[in-house]
Structure 1
Amino acid sequence: MILWGLIVGGLLGLFAADFEQYGMILGAIVGVGAGWGLRAAVRAEVRAMLADRGVEAAPVPAEPAERGGVRIVNETAAPRPAVEAPVAVEPERPPQPTVVRLPERTAPPAAPAEPAEPGIVERGFAAAREWLLGGNTIVRAGLVVLFIGLAFLARWAAGAGLLPIEVRLALVAAAGIALLAVGFNRRIARPGFALALQGGGVAILYLTIFAAAALYPILPLPGAFVLMVLVCAAAVALALLQDAQGLAAAAFAGGYAVPLLLGGDGGPVAVMFGYHLLLNFGVLALAWKKAWRSINLIGFAATFGVAVLWGATSYQPQDYAVAQSFLIVSVLIYLAIAILYARNSESRVGRFVDSSLLFGTALAGFGLEAGLVAAFDYGAAFAALGFAALYLVLAVAVRRRGDDGYRLLAETMLAVGVGFVTLAIPLALGARWTGSAWALEGAGAFWVGMRQARWMPRAFGLLLQGVAALMFLALLDSGPQALPIVNPVFLTGLLAALPVLLTAWWLRAAPLPHSGSLPARAYAGVEAMVGKPVFLAGFLLWSLALIAEICRTVPSPGDGAVPVFAAATQQLLTMVALVASAGAAALVGRRLRWDVATWPGRVTLVVLAGTWVGQAALNHHILYHPGWIAWIVAIGLHLHLLHANDHDAEGAGRRLLQRLGHVGGVWLAVALLADALWLGIDRAALWDSSWAGVVFLVAAVAVLALLVLWAGGAARRPAGERRWPLDRHLAGYHAQAALPVATLVYGGSLAAALLAEGDAAPLPYVPLLNPVELTLALALAVLVLWRRSLIAVAPPYAGFGWVAGRGAWMALAGLGFVDVNMLWLRFAHHYLGVAWDADALLGSAVVEAGLTILWTLLSLGLMLFAHRRAHRGVWIAGAALLVVVILKLFFVDLSNASGGARIVTFIVVGALMLVVGYFAPLPPRGDAPKDEETKEVAA
């Protein structure tokens, strides 16, 4: 195969590159790779068939051998040989070999491990080395050079007009006959050399006859056919006489390659197909006597390859009769060859089955037939039924007339026949009902394979159900469906999902019984892993069927279609349907101890969150009527599943998933509460006021406050007094769920303090009693309470020790400082008429003076507090703020403030500094314990 791959590839590359050398080199490289791949595939197929039947090579008895002065006596096999050295060695005597005796084994040896299959790189190097360093390397190279030289000679003579075409063809034929004669004469003395010459001679004769009949009007068609029959018969006779499969392969490969090598169009279609049929009959005649699989595959690949290429590029409707006749005869020939191969290849465990020919003929033949009958109504369906009838009739005939060794062949034909019956369904009924039929048929095939302990029907059943699922997916965008429930889309999805779920139930007991062959064991390993994915696929198909029904459209009076439900209603119904389906699956899974059935119920939070996002995108709120009913039902089912899942959450992964469900529910609660508040803002038309700006912050503050009261209170009680879900998820709610909410509260407070104008319309602005400042005060208070509740937990939650550190209270202090400063700016905006603009606010002398006095008061308060609690750190912070005030006085207020503002500012600040110096001097170091100081500051 490698030789002919090199020849054909080199010549094709030469012709394609217009006789440039690089084309021949590249073509030869590609041809060698193709030939090696074909040979490797054939050998792998043979090994697979041997392995299927448990045929193993007989053990080769080990012979005693001497290597390097050590004589090995293999008495019996044992894992570790004992080495006995000679007692003494006399110098005068030659060195004696060391005797290695293998001890007797006391138990039968274990079955030898199957040798590892060499990799593709190793096989490639081995094939190249075998071809290059074989016994007839020079002969092979010489044949390649000779073949190319003859082709060049023919082309050059034609171009120069030196010799008539008849003379040129006669010279080429004489060269082929000479090769045949020399090769046959040397068949005994040099078998390899002789077979190579004979193969080249046969190929040259094929080339000559075909050219004389199809390309040049020299030989009449009947005469050419007779000569081709004679050459084919002579090649088969020579191969049989010398029992030379290689000669037969070379002869047939050369014959099939002739049209390609000549580079022409093959002449009339009848001539081309007649030529291939003659070669195919030669293959059939050879298959009658010999089980030479390589010959069968060469003929099959060449015949159907040429047919496909011709059908794709040159087919015309007037060629239908010739093409149809050729296709029918070719299919019958290669099916007969497959049966003859089984007859001639009997082994200890049965007859071999050439699956490549059985399945390849079915696929290639039906594909070509479908193309031929595409113009006829239901042509492809009748073609599928015709192939089904052919394979089923052959299966029955082989089973009845053959012995038990033909059982595998009959079953394979039966499987192909059933496959064509299956294929006829969509071709006749259309895709709308095909998925349903295939899914049911796949479940039936799987059940039969399970009952009969046969892996092939089970694999076929899974494959068929997978195809049915894909067909259902293709139906999802099939247009309006007038009838509810009983429409092709929903029924197809239902009938595709239920068999898959049933198959998943059968697979729960995997591995299922099988024959014990190598393919059966390999498939059992796959089957043991697909049970859970099959269930998930079935649940997904069920969910898609529900979604398709909910989103169904009906024909409108015009040309379009209208949905049965509005988009927001579709989302809500989908949410309830999916959560309810997950609940039903979880109930069945727990009743039947089917663990995978509980999996969808563990991720219902994803459905709820996705629905909220979809509703928000449609500007649809959760309190809209009657959508709030759907939310209550879905959330209730979700909480029920969360409670049930907590009781069987075994394993780290499942516990993590449960914790995410609880924690994520808290975050979703923030979004749902904010959505409800947004509805109030919308109804009151307050989107242009500060009420709308603090809605999300209010929701986060409320949820964080609830967590502090609920989880923080539970943290102070003994573990035995806590109820679900805090009995097992206290840290999840109190710390892990609350941390992102607290982060939102902190970030939202900072943003609201800096950006919110404080517009309380329709109410007037009142300091501290407006939506912004009330919310900011509540947010800061809740953050402080949450921190204190975390500090009170002993031992602290893992990873939350930083809460009691200095950084946390400094962050809270910084937020409070920003809140107080922005309170003064909002006061100045509303009561002093300063524009709500950074430049206007910072450029106002009154605002600057007020900030200076405010900072002084803050520093005074900090220092007084620190003096009373003897906390030097807080006193130093207040003093630092006072330094900033002094710097601001001299570098900002002194130059920008007006006379009155400057006087008031300096007097007030100076007086306050005197008060600080009198009432709050620096406290002594170490008057209070450090941990007590921290707690007091936190308070």
Structure 2
Amino acid sequence: MNTSAFWIIVLGLWIFTLQNRVKHLEKIVSRLLDKDTKPVAQTLTVEQQAVKPETKPVESEDQAEEEPEYVSAVSQLEMAHESPKPTRDTAPKEAYVHTEPSWLMQMLSNYFTGGNLLVRIGGVILFFGLAFLVKYAAEHSVISIEMRLWGIALIAVALIVTGWRLRDREGAYGQILQGLGVAILYLLIYGASKFYGLLSLEMAFVLMLGVVVLGSILAVMEDSLPLALFATAGGFLVPILTSSGDGSHIMLFSYYAFLNLGLFIVAWFRSWRVLNVVGFLFTFVIATVWGVLRYKSELFTTTEPFLILYFFMYLCISVLFTIKHPFEPKNLVDGTLVFGLPMIAFPLQISLVHDFSYAEAYSALFLGLLYLALWFWLKNKERTLLLAQSFLALSVVFFTIAIPYIFDADVSAALWSLESTGIIWIALKQSRPLTRYFGMALLFVALFVYPDSVGYYNSLTLAEYLGYLIIITATFIAAYLLDTHKHVLPALDVFIAKVYLFFAILFWFTGTLNILPRIYAFVAGQDILFTLIAGTLLLVAVTMKVQWQLLVKTLQGFLFLGMLVFFLQAGGIIRLLYVHPFVDLGAVLYGIFLLLHFLLLYLYRKEWQWAKAIHVAGLWFFVLVVSLELHYHIENLYHQQSDSLMALACVPLVVSFLLMLPKQYRGWLEEQREAYQMLGAGGLLTALGVWQLRTFSVVPVGNALPVFNLLDIIQIMVLAMMGYWGYRQKNLLSKEAGNTLYGAVAIMGILLITVIFARAVHHSQGIAYNMHALWDSDYFQTGLSLLWSMIAIVLMVLSKRYGQKILWLGGFGLLIVVVLKLFFVELAHSGTIERIVSFIVVGTLLLLIGYFVPMPPGETEHDET
């Protein structure tokens, strides 16, 4: 197994070396290809250079053609081997993409490709061989133990002495030999103590300390990183290469403690980042593997001290690296140690103390306080400013981690929300995007943790509601901070500000709705309206103190949310049970809602982009609410369909008339005159048009006289109001739209006259008021033909008087309908006196119309057609 591992390592080193050689050659070729210069001719032999004539360089192809046909042999040789000159017209070659290796790969590459390659590889192979020899000798007694160890010791000393004498040789030859010797001494002491028992634990520690000091002194004196690396890596590999699987963890960790002490000593004098990282990785990777495979809770007292010792050693090394580093920039930080150390050490600590109560919380608090103290110590030094800020960030992280170990999930979420807001504020002040994103992510965690911890649908306690208020406030402030800095933030952060504001409003609704049952038993839906009004008043108060355009724009949705609540409540969708919106406190709440709506319209009349639409929608909603309430009371009072339908038309009819009055708009409402008259009144009249069609099927109660009954009067007023609205808006309507409107009004007027006649026939003749009964009535058919003919005559007479050809065409069209009706309806029952009268009277009227009111002359050929 050990032999296979040895050859695998050797093969890997060989392949790695070849790979780096290939990369080195590729970079050379790439640089040569990128040069836009003439290719260099092949080197000539000494004899050729001796006979080479002196020639002038060829400047162009034309000049080359003018050269003599005979050329010397040397010139021919040069031309034969000369590469073609690259030009701009040639096809572009494929770009060579070179990726920089990571720092670890660069370090390994420098070790195996820089300096004396054979010495470095040979040193590694020799160390592995000696390590395997120690283990083999321990398992197979060939010579005495003392002789084996003395032999290895002599080899180590010889390597160190030889390396010292050759320390000035190029390629770090001497340093490599010294590092190999120090590593062998580590191997010797560890083997003598563990396998043979020749050295007590105390003596082994003393000797190891001496080797540590020796290696550190040599590395510092000679300023040799290869020596330090070789000695350190060899020292860490000793327990791995000689392990039999049944050693003491105390021996292992104590041995590693001495090695790390050597690294600390070197770090005091030299800022070698690679050496620090190598020791860090060896220490914590091996410790983690041991913890996963061997750790038990009863080993806590003999394991925890080593973890604390390692942590403080590398924490000091990370500080020394920044303080002692002689290069620029001054704020250089070893991120691998600064951030990697707590990321590895804290999970190991949690795994060690998880059986103790609150031990995780104390550990996190201790680390938070430790890093906070380091920040206080280093923040005023220019060289360590970045390191201090890094420690402050770690302090915040560990205080954040400590919270859930101390408090319940709901309290933790509330504290996280406050902390995240503070982090976002500091990050924005200091322009630190990573810190800002940490705070934003922490706030999202709090937003999702808190509702889950207290329950989404449970009635809240006062303490839980206070937690909601804390999270709402923190989220609201975070949204404000991000949105007010949107000019310097990416689009994602600006979008997240809107998301935060949405969550703040959502949490207000969910939290308040869950706490209200403890305060007052609202009727279904009224608690939502109350929450909406209260929340809006709070937001309005905020906008009075803070200029925040996003919040002002958000308030534009107030009306529409209230309308949604009303429709859900009135439609019985809330709790699947119809409840009148105005019962209990409903009338008061909706009154406050409408007053608040108009207050918002006044306050934000210049900021709101949708002001016109909100004015109109608010008007419609007000008319709808009042109309439905009037309809509700009339229906319950008189129990007549016609009366309740008339109630629906009264309010929009009166409001439409008031909107058309020119003196109704003063002050800030003058800006919305066009919106109210064009869209507000137009929408109401459109709704009245639909109401008109609906009421055609309704007959007034009792023996009501035609026209002189309330239903007919209201319908006539609606028709008149439509015409008046079109007349007042003629300057805003196009000609085609105006003609369409007048045509619709005319058609609805003809229908209304027809309906009034049908109601009169119903009352006078006792015919049922439905389409089938009236259609079968000869009396109704005859009267209808005469009525439509009279209407047509009136239209044609008016066309002659006012010169409006469209009126004549309308009357003519109506006469065509009458004629078609005579032939397809009356002709089927021509034996009755009523139908005979219809034919005679209509025919006579047509003759008179043709004589007195002929078709007016058209202005163009198209009109005549």
Per-residue CA deviations over 1:776-810 (Å, capped at 9, x if unaligned) read 5444332222111112x5xx4xxx43576322222
Task: Give 2:658's aligned amino acid.
Answer: W
Matched, 1:579 2:514: no
Judge conservation of contact 1:440–1:495 (CA < 8 Å) in 2.
yes
Residue of structure 2 aligned with 1:433, choices 411, 415, 423: 411
Task: Give 1:758's aligned amino acid.
Answer: V
Aligned to 1:420: 398
**Structure 2 CA distance for partners of 1:476 and 1:670, relative to 1, 3 Å:** farther
Matched, 1:386 2:345: no
1:683 Cα offset (Å) = 3.7
In the alignment of these two chains, the number of paired residues is 726
1:639 Cα offset (Å) = 1.9
Matched, 1:365 2:345: yes
Look up the SS of the partner of 1:805 in the other structure. helix
CA distance in 2 between partners of 1:303 and 1:734 (Å): 82
CA distance in 2 between partners of 1:848 and 1:137 (Å): 112
1:875 Cα offset (Å) = 0.7
Which residues of 2 match residues 84-99 of structure 1 at below 5 A? Answer: none
Matched, 1:713 2:666: no
Aligned to 1:551: 514
Aligned to 1:515: none
Aligned to 2:625: 672
Aligned to 1:659: 612
Which residues of 2 match residues 526-675 of structure 1 at below 5 A? Answer: 526=489, 541=504, 544-545=507-508, 548-552=511-515, 564-589=521-546, 603-616=557-570, 617-618=573-574, 619-646=578-605, 649=606, 654=607, 656-675=609-628
1:454 Cα offset (Å) = 7.1
Task: Give 1:874's aligned amino acid.
Answer: L
CA distance in 2 between partners of 1:259 and 1:462 (Å): 43
Aligned to 1:869: 802
Task: Give 2:679's aligned amino acid.
Answer: Q
Matched, 1:832 2:746: no
Aligned to 1:735: 678
Which residues of 2 match residues 199-598 of structure 1 at below 5 A? Answer: 287-288=267-268, 290-293=270-273, 296=276, 327-347=307-327, 350-370=330-350, 372-392=352-372, 394-395=374-375, 405-410=383-388, 412-435=390-413, 437=415, 455=430, 467=442, 471=446, 474-476=449-451, 479=454, 487-496=462-471, 525-526=488-489, 541=504, 544-545=507-508, 548-552=511-515, 564-589=521-546
CA distance in 1 between partners of 2:349 and 2:562 (Å): 52
CA distance in 2 between partners of 1:373 and 1:874 (Å): 97
Task: Give 1:584's aligned amino acid.
Answer: A
Look up the SS of the partner of 2:333 in the other structure. coil
Judge conservation of contact 1:666–1:737 (CA < 8 Å) in 2.
yes
1:628 Cα offset (Å) = 1.1
CA distance in 2 between partners of 1:502 and 1:393 (Å): 29
CA distance in 1 between partners of 2:236 and 2:627 (Å): 77
Task: Give 1:727's aligned amino acid.
Answer: E
Residue range with higher mean Cα deviation, 676-685 or 842-851:
842-851
Residue of structure 2 aligned with 1:127, choices 100, 103, 106: 100
CA distance in 2 between partners of 1:488 and 1:495 (Å): 11
Residue range with higher mean Cα deviation, 869-878 or 914-923:
914-923
1:577 Cα offset (Å) = 0.5
Which runs of 5 or more structure 2 residues have no equivalent in the other structure?
1-7, 24-36, 39-55, 60-94, 122-138, 141-155
CA distance in 2 between partners of 1:310 and 1:681 (Å): 86
CA distance in 1 between partners of 2:714 and 2:771 (Å): 20
**Structure 2 CA distance for partners of 1:850 and 1:409, relative to 1, 3 Å:** same
Residue range with higher mean Cα deviation, 292-301 or 123-132:
123-132
**Structure 2 CA distance for partners of 1:507 and 1:243, relative to 1, 3 Å:** same
Matched, 1:921 2:854: yes
Matched, 1:878 2:811: yes
Look up the SS of the partner of 2:584 in the other structure. coil
CA distance in 2 between partners of 1:668 and 1:353 (Å): 64
CA distance in 1 between partners of 2:455 and 2:817 (Å): 73
Judge conservation of contact 2:543–2:552 (CA < 8 Å) in 1.
yes
**Structure 2 CA distance for partners of 1:279 and 1:779, relative to 1, 3 Å:** farther
Judge conservation of contact 1:443–1:462 (CA < 8 Å) in 2.
no
Which runs of 5 or more structure 1 residues have no equivalent in the other structure?
1-10, 16-23, 33-66, 69-91, 96-121, 148-164, 167-176, 512-522, 556-561, 931-939
Judge conservation of contact 2:478–2:500 (CA < 8 Å) in 1.
no
Aligned to 1:98: none
Look up the SS of the partner of 1:672 in the other structure. helix
Judge conservation of contact 2:239–2:252 (CA < 8 Å) in 1.
no
CA distance in 1 between partners of 2:563 and 2:810 (Å): 45
**Structure 2 CA distance for partners of 1:454 and 1:816, relative to 1, 3 Å:** closer
RMSD: 6.9
Judge conservation of contact 2:400–2:416 (CA < 8 Å) in 1.
yes
Judge conservation of contact 2:375–2:392 (CA < 8 Å) in 1.
yes
Judge conservation of contact 1:575–1:611 (CA < 8 Å) in 2.
no
Task: Give 2:583's aligned amino acid.
Answer: Y
Look up the SS of the partner of 1:127 in the other structure. coil
Look up the SS of the partner of 1:625 in the other structure. coil
Which residues of 2 match residues 105-184 of structure 1 at below 5 A? Answer: 125-127=98-100
TM-score, normalising length: structure 2 = 0.62
Judge conservation of contact 2:460–2:514 (CA < 8 Å) in 1.
no
Judge conservation of contact 2:215–2:228 (CA < 8 Å) in 1.
yes
Task: Give 2:371's aligned amino acid.
Answer: Y
1:286 Cα offset (Å) = 6.2
Judge conservation of contact 1:472–1:489 (CA < 8 Å) in 2.
no
1:570 Cα offset (Å) = 0.9
1:285 Cα offset (Å) = 6.7
CA distance in 1 between partners of 2:166 and 2:775 (Å): 111
1:248 Cα offset (Å) = 8.6
CA distance in 2 between partners of 1:239 and 1:763 (Å): 118
**Structure 2 CA distance for partners of 1:395 and 1:802, relative to 1, 3 Å:** same
Residue range with higher mean Cα deviation, 288-297 or 605-614:
288-297
1:843 Cα offset (Å) = 8.6
1:723 Cα offset (Å) = 1.0
CA distance in 2 between partners of 1:218 and 1:828 (Å): 124
Look up the SS of the partner of 1:832 in the other structure. coil
Matched, 1:723 2:696: no
Judge conservation of contact 2:219–2:227 (CA < 8 Å) in 1.
yes
Judge conservation of contact 2:361–2:403 (CA < 8 Å) in 1.
yes
Aligned to 2:729: 790
TM-score, normalising length: structure 1 = 0.58
Per-residue CA deviations over 1:360-395 (Å, capped at 9, x if unaligned) read 433443345445544543343222123224434555
**Structure 2 CA distance for partners of 1:135 and 1:258, relative to 1, 3 Å:** closer
**Structure 2 CA distance for partners of 1:775 and 1:380, relative to 1, 3 Å:** farther
Task: Give 1:344's aligned amino acid.
Answer: K
Identical aligned residues as a percent: 24
**Structure 2 CA distance for partners of 1:306 and 1:684, relative to 1, 3 Å:** farther
Per-residue CA deviations over 1:453-504 (Å, capped at 9, x if unaligned) read 9738999799669846863664346558999998223323444555677889
1:435 Cα offset (Å) = 4.9
